[in-house]
């Protein structure tokens, strides 16, 4: 998968990569040429006392060195640019893929893991690509060129390389082999620590309210220590690598000087040649070391690439239709009205023994309000989530204007839906930017009207910056009721054909709840309104009430009809209000 990702995302930068390889070749050739010139200066200039030769050869060395530096700078620049562009493009496509996931797809990986894959895993792959451009391309050239040039200086002394290179390669290979299991497990441990940290930050208020700080500290310490031990073991092995390299290199230098000294003494070799040979030996060993160190990084990057590939290979459960109808063609060319129909809908989670929803059938006409009520876990939120295709029904069909929603483009479907989720979530930015999530070109007047309908105008007007007031991530700068009202404003400003309120009035007091519902009526006169609620007072006036129990509709009708003839609804009502209040 690592090579597949590199091949795919480096293809647009083929020209830069090709130029980089040429520059690396020129730089390597220049590096290999310099020791020979240095040897010539020693043997033909210094020992002979020829100052002119020293100056002329030194000038050639200077020109070659300048060319080497220029090629190196340009090569590193091109390599860094290509690697960073690779990372940017990979993150972009990975983010787009995750954005297309349904709730089921996200649950398959988990939010902490997806965050790690989009950030840390991409960074690991990007770093290997960068190191490949700056080191791995040059290392084989340096190794082969160094061997040729060393043999050119002295063939017999080059026999030492038959021992030195395998010793270094085997030593580094053993260290790398020991490190691979740690690299493979490290990414999963980063997932774990991200998951714990994310959960603790999100649930900070609950942790403090129940005085669970010590328990959560211990839980975080457990995940943190687990990662620490793995990284410590990896760090120890990496720390071992450098002394091993230095030991081999120093022993190699001693061996060359020892045997080279004898050859110089016998007249078979000159001092400059031995100096050049020592330099080439260092080049060779550095090339072996760099290649091995690169191979140490590759296993971790390969694991990261596999994790990224798993996201790309994930088959999206909510599939886009190949030839969706245009919204303008709905209702005989008059555009969508929002008429909603469920036909024997069932939803079952993968591997579950029983479905969450079974045989759900009802119709919601424009201009009517349909309420859904039931005990916790009865499937209310799941039912609502099927309408904007947060997940697809596993059986049965859902229709909008008699067109199956699976045949509609998801963007078109969502464009006619205004969803207020159970958890009122606001994004970091401003009040205006959050409302413009509902309608990107909403004017200030439209936003103020939506805020007035949602009973949010007063507290927004009281803010110094009003619509430009800052909103923290998640909307934590506002109370729960304020967040709910802003979320309702976001849906109202869109003026959708279908309103979906998922227990969106629970944090409001009864007075605000009543005012909000009264203000909503004129705005939703021609739209389909689906309301999921826990409070009977919120849904008493609905045109049709669905009573859910264990994922099935066990009652349907108006408040009075259900109060007269549905036992489940009667139990819900009696738990919240007296008979006199229910009859009002």
Q: What is the tens place of the pLDDT at every residue in 35-63?
A: 877 777 777 777 777 778 788 888 888 88
Q: Give mean pLDDT, residues 571-577.
A: 78
**What local confidence, expressed as pLDDT, does residue 579 receive?**
60
Residues 155 and 276: beta-carbon distance below 8 Å: no
β-sheet bridge partners, residue 340:
364, 400
Distance CA 85, CA 90 (A): 8
pLDDT above 70: residue 128 = yes
For the chain, give the percent of residues with pLDDT over 90. 0
pLDDT above 60: residue 330 = yes
Q: Give mean pLDDT, residues 491-515.
A: 82
Question: How many C-alpha atoms does 186 have within 13 Å on its Cβ side?
Answer: 23
pLDDT band at 405 (very low <50, low <70, confident <90, very high): confident
Domain definitions of the chain by residue range: 2-313, 324-416+499-509+528-584, 424-495
Spatial CB neighbours of 38, under 8 Å, sequence gap ≥ 6: 61, 272, 275, 276, 279
pLDDT band at 271 (very low <50, low <70, confident <90, very high): confident
Instruction: Indicate the pTM of the whole model.
Output: 0.69
Q: Give mean pLDDT, residues 73-80.
A: 88
CATH code, 424-495:
3.40.50.300
Distance CA 320, CA 214 (A): 47
**What local confidence, expressed as pLDDT, does residue 517 receive?**
81
What burial letters (b/e) apply to 356-377, b meaning 16+ CB within 10 Å? bbbebebebebebbbbbbbeee
Domain 2-313 class? Answer: mainly alpha
Which has more confidence, 239 or 296? 239
Site of tokens 């031995």: 274
**What local confidence, expressed as pLDDT, does residue 583 receive?**
61
Q: In whole numbers, what is the pLDDT of the chain averaged over residues? A: 82
pLDDT band at 581 (very low <50, low <70, confident <90, very high): low
Fold for the domain defined by 324-416+499-509+528-584 = Rossmann fold (3.40.50)
pLDDT band at 578 (very low <50, low <70, confident <90, very high): low
First to last CA, the chain: 66
Same fold yes or no, 324-416+499-509+528-584 and 424-495? yes
Predicted confidence (pLDDT) per residue in 183-242, tens digit: 767 767 887 887 788 778 777 878 888 888 888 888 888 888 888 888 888 888 777 777
């Amino acid at each position: 998968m690592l090579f597949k990702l590199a091949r795919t995302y480096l293809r647009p930068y083929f020209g830069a990569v090709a130029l980089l390889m040429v520059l690396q070749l020129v730089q390597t050739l220049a590096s290999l040429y310099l020791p020979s010139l240095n040897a010539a200066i020693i043997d033909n200039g210094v020992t002979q006392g020829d100052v002119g030769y020293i100056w002329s050869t030194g000038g050639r060395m200077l020109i070659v060195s300048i060319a080497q530096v220029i090629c190196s700078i340009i090569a590193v620049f091109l390599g860094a640019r290509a690697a960073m562009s690779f990372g940017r493009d990979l993150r972009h496509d990975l983010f787009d893929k995750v954005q297309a996931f349904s709730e089921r797809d996200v649950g398959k990986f988990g939010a902490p893991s997806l965050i790690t894959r989009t950030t840390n895993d991409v960074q690991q792959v990007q770093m290997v690509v960068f190191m490949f451009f700056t080191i791995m391309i040059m290392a084989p050239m340096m190794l082969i060129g160094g061997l040729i040039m060393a043999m050119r200086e002295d063939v017999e002394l080059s026999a030492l390389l038959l021992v030195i290179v395998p010793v270094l390669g085997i030593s580094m290979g053993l260290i790398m082999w020991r490190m691979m299991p740690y690299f493979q497990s490290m990414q999963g441990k980063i997932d774990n620590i991200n998951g714990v940290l994310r959960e603790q930050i999100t649930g900070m208020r609950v942790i403090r309210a129940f005085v669970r700080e010590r328990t959560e500290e211990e839980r975080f310490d457990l995940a943190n220590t687990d990662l620490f031990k793995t990284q410590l073991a990896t760090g120890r092995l990496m720390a071992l690598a450098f002394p091993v390299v230095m030991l081999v290199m120093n022993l190699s230098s001693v061996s060359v000087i020892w045997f080279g000294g004898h050859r110089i003494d016998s007249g078979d070799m000159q001092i400059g040649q031995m100096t050049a040979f020592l330099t080439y030996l260092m080049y060779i060993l550095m090339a072996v070391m760099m290649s091995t160190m690169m191979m140490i990084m590759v296993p971790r990057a390969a694991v990261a690439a596999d994790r990224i590939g798993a996201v790309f290979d994930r088959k999206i459960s909510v599939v886009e239709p190949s030839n969706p109808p245009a919204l303008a063609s709905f209702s005989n060319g008059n555009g969508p009205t929002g008429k909603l129909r469920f036909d024997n809908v069932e939803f079952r989670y993968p591997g579950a023994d029983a479905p969450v929803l079974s045989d759900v059938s009802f119709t919601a006409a424009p201009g009517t309000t349909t309420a859904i009520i039931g005990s916790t876990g009865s499937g209310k939120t799941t039912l609502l989530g099927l309408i904007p295709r947060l997940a697809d029904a596993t059986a049965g069909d859902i229709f909008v204007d008699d067109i199956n929603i699976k045949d509609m483009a998801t963007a078109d479907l969502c464009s006619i839906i205004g969803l207020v989720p159970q958890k009122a979530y606001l994004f970091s930015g401003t009040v205006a930017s959050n409302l413009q999530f509902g309608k990107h070109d909403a004017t200030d007047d439209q936003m103020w009207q939506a805020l007035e309908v949602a009973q949010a105008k007063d507290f927004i007007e009281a803010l110094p910056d009003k619509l430009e007031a800052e909103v923290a991530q998640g909307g934590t700068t506002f109370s729960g009721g304020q967040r709910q009202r802003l979320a309702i404003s976001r849906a109202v400003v869109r003026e959708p054909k279908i309103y979906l309120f998922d227990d969106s009035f629970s944090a409001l007091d009864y007075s605000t709840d009543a005012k909000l519902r009264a203000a909503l009526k004129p705005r939703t006169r021609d739209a389909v309104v689906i309301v999921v609620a826990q409070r009977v007072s919120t849904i008493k006036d609905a045109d049709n009430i669905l009573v859910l129990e264990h994922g099935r509709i066990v009652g349907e009708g108006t408040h009075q009809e259900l109060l007269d003839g549905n036992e489940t609804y009667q139990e819900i009502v009696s738990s919240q209000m007296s008979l006199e209040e229910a009859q009002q």
